[in-house]
Amino acid sequence: MKTLATIIGTIAPATAFAASTPRVDDSGLFVWIFLGFCALIVIAQVMPAVLLMFGMAKGVTGIVKDELKGHKA
């Protein structure tokens, strides 16, 4: 516990040396276009995965319902 307090005590003052000025964001138009394109790629990859998960869940619940109907009959 004492070593943890020592580590925190040595690391905590380091935040005092952080920059006091706001960060300058000088990103051009092409950077934002590139980031938007990357976001489109991510969305294009996530949508089929979500649809696949819904399909698998629907299939599993259908199989379970069929098994329950078979056991009751």
Looking at residue 24, its amino acid is: V
Looking at residue 32, its amino acid is: W
Nearest Cα to Cα of residue 47 among 59, 36, 39: 39
Q: Rg for the chain (alpha carbons), in Å?
A: 27
Q: In order along the chain (73 residues), what is the average pLDDT of each group of 10 residues?
A: 73 64 76 95 95 90 74 58
Quote the pTM value.
0.47
**Is there a domain that residue 46 lies in?**
yes
Residues ≥6 apart with Cβ < 8 Å to 27: none
pLDDT confidence of residue 45: 95
**Is there a domain that residue 53 lies in?**
yes
**Is there a domain that residue 4 lies in?**
no
pLDDT confidence of residue 44: 95
**Full residue range of the structural domain in which residue 53 is found:** 31-73
Domain count, the chain: 1
**Is there a domain that residue 20 lies in?**
no
**Is there a domain that residue 38 lies in?**
yes
